[in-house]
């Protein structure tokens, strides 16, 4: 017995269901070769551009797939063709996204500097030298407004989800209909609504009005996601709670909501992503302010989309570069937010193990 345990095992763990490194490399090389051949064909034919390469490369790749896997039978060939088509579809879908990202970075990177993130435009003209002034006012303004909008809309959204899935009262259908209708409201209408109800009465634009306009847009997103997430809670868990003598309220707040905590975080994040880049509603509610300030009740407040818009309207080269730089900051901030949310919910899942 001891001889067996002291000797290292000769059996190595294998994953025979996976492609070997050599196979994977040969497939990768094939794709590169196919694209290269397609590019050559495009050069000598009337076709042109990336679209032309794609138009030649995709059928070529399919043909190569059939030739390569055909000898293993029709199932293998069909599998290979499907893999090639799905891979092509993935690349085609990625193209616009990568193109946007590339354009934003290419045109905006010059504007980015430490100063750009920490200074504001209080004493700087939009077309002044790059490296002076900054968009701290917009970062802070967007942060404050999104925070207030989240504080308003997440509780309301989750509670409407709870009403639809847990309470199932007489107005369930009506509430669901209104939530769905609200998610179709054009964002400028949300701005007009807050303008006509709040801004006119206060006779002043304010960050708070902007936040409320964003909240109007955020509520349906949060509510619908929360409803979908709450529907996933198995009925057995609710019954288990009731069988322990729980009231409906403690059942909802101590069992159902904690069970889907990470899903609810996702619903809030989706809501934030929905509104963080909104421009139209803020035009009529928060407007723009050139100094950095954090008080949403103290007159107009800047935000990243509005500041981008106003830089762009200026038209001068430096101002337009600043506009791209501001968009880049907005993209990065939203990406960070997504990563944070994923980390938070992944953490939850791991700690449960």
Partner 1 sequence: MSSESPLEGTAVTASGVGSAMREVETGRDSRNLLPSGASGLETIGAHAWFGKHLAIEDVSLRFPKSSVTGLIGPSGCGKSTFLRLLNRMHEFIPGSAFAGQVLLDGRDIYAPEVNATEIRLKVGMVFQKPNPFPSMSIADNVLAGLRLARIKVSDKNMLLEDCLVRAGLWKEVKDRLKASAGSLSGGQQQRLCIARALAVKPEVLLMDEPCSALDPGSTLRVEETIVQLSESMTIIIVTHNMQQAARVSDYCAFFLSEGGPGRVVEAGLTSTIFTNPVDSRTADYVQGRFG
Among residues 90, 288, 274, the alpha carbon closest in space to that of 206 is found at: 288
- Letters for 24-53 (x = contact with partner 1 by CB under 8 A, - = none) are ------------------------------
Tell me, rounded to whole angstroms, the distance of Cα 163 from its chain centroid: 27
Is residue 246 close enough to count as binding partner 1 by CB under 8 A? yes
Q: How far apart are CA 308 and CA 123, in angstroms?
A: 18
The half-sphere exposure of 156 on its side-chain side, counting CA atoms within 13 A, is 17
Long-range contacts of 122-128 (CB under 8 A, 24+ apart): 122/290, 122/291, 122/292, 126/310, 126/311, 126/314, 126/316, 126/318, 126/319, 126/322, 127/314, 127/316, 127/317, 127/318, 127/319, 128/318
**Phi, psi at 113, each rounded to 5°:** -155, 170
Cα–Cα dist 154/281, whole Å: 19
Looking at the Cβ atoms of 66 and 255, the one nearer to partner 1 is 255
* Interface region with partner 1, contact rule CB under 8 A, candidates 23-31, 141-149, 184-192, 245-253: 245-253
- Pick 153 or 165: Cβ nearer partner 1: 165
Query: Using the rule CB under 8 A, is 239 a contact of partner 1?
Result: yes
Residue nearer to partner 1 on the CB measure, 90 or 242: 242
DSSP single-letter state for residue 235: H
Is 14 a residue that touches partner 1 (CB under 8 A)? no
Q: Which is nearer to partner 1, 178 or 255 (CB)?
A: 255
Instruction: Please select the residue that binds partner 1; options are 237, 332, 336, 340, rule is CB under 8 A.
Output: 237
Answer yes or no whether residue 106 interacts with partner 1 by CB under 8 A: no
Using rule CB under 8 A, residue 318 touches partner 1: no
Nearer to partner 1, 161 or 207 (CB): 161
Distance of CA 157 to the CA centre of its chain: 19
Our CB check for partner 1 shows the closer of 251 and 267 to be: 251
Which residue, 129 or 236, has its beta carbon nearer to partner 1? 236
Which residues in the 160-189 window bind partner 1 by CB under 8 A?
none
* Distance from chain centroid for Cα 54: 27
Answer for which of 8, 13, 46, 245 binds partner 1 (CB under 8 A) is 245
Q: Which stretch binds partner 1 (CB under 8 A): 69-77, 207-215, 247-255, 321-329?
A: 247-255
Query: Radius of gyration over alpha carbons of the chain, in Å?
Result: 27
Q: Give me the residue label for tokens 């944070």.
A: 340
Out of 118, 180, 250, 313, the only residue in the binding site for partner 1 (CB under 8 A) is 250
Nearer to partner 1 (CB atom), residue 196 or residue 247: 247
Is 240 near partner 1 (CB under 8 A)?
yes
Residue 231 touching partner 1 (CB under 8 A):
no
> Considering CB under 8 A, how many residues would be counted as binding partner 1?
22
Q: What's the angle, vertex CA 126, arms to CA 310 and CA 96, rounded to 5?
A: 55
Q: Is 31 exposed, middle or buried (0-12, 13-18, 19+ CB in 10 A)?
A: middle
Residue from 26, 247, 295, 313 in contact with partner 1 (CB under 8 A): 247
Footprint of partner 1 (CB under 8 A): 234, 236-237, 239-247, 250-251, 254-255, 258-259, 261, 351-353
């Amino acid at each position: 017995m001891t001889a067996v345990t002291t000797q290292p095992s000769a059996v190595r763990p294998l994953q025979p269901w996976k492609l070997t490194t050599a196979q994977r490399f040969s497939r990768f090389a094939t794709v590169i070769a196919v694209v290269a051949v397609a590019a050559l064909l495009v050069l000598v034919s009337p076709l042109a551009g990336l679209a032309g390469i794609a138009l030649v490369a995709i059928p070529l790749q399919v043909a190569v797939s059939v030739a390569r896997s055909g000898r293993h039978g029709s199932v293998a060939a069909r599998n290979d063709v499907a893999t090639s088509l799905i891979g092509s579809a993935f690349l085609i879908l990625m193209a616009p996204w990568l193109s946007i990202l590339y354009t934003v970075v290419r045109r905006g990177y010059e504007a980015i500097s430490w100063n750009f993130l920490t200074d504001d435009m209080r004493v700087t003209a939009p077309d002044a030298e790059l490296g002076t002034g900054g968009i701290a006012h917009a970062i802070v303004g967007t942060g404050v407004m999104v925070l207030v909008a989240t504080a308003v809309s997440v509780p309301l959204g989750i509670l409407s989800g709870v009403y639809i899935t847990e309470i199932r009262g007489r107005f369930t259908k009506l509430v669901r209909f209104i939530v769905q209708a609200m998610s179709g409201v054009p964002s400028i209408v949300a701005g007009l609504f807050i303008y006509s109800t709040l801004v006119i009465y206060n006779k002043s634009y304010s960050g708070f009005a902007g936040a409320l306009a964003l909240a109007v847009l955020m509520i349906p997103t949060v509510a619908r996601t929360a409803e979908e997430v709450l529907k996933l809670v198995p009925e057995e868990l609710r019954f288990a709670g009731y069988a322990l003598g729980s009231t409906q309220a403690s059942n909802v707040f101590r069992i159902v909501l904690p069970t889907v905590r990470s899903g609810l975080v996702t619903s809030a994040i989706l809501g934030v992503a929905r509104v963080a880049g909104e421009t139209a509603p803020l035009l009529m509610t928060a407007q723009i302010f050139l100094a950095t300030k954090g008080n949403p009740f103290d007159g107009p407040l800047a935000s990243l989309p509005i500041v981008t818009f106003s830089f762009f309207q200026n038209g001068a080269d430096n101002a337009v570069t600043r506009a791209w730089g501001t968009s880049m900051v907005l993209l990065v901030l939203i990406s960070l937010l997504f990563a944070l949310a994923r980390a938070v919910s992944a953490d939850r899942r791991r700690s449960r193990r």
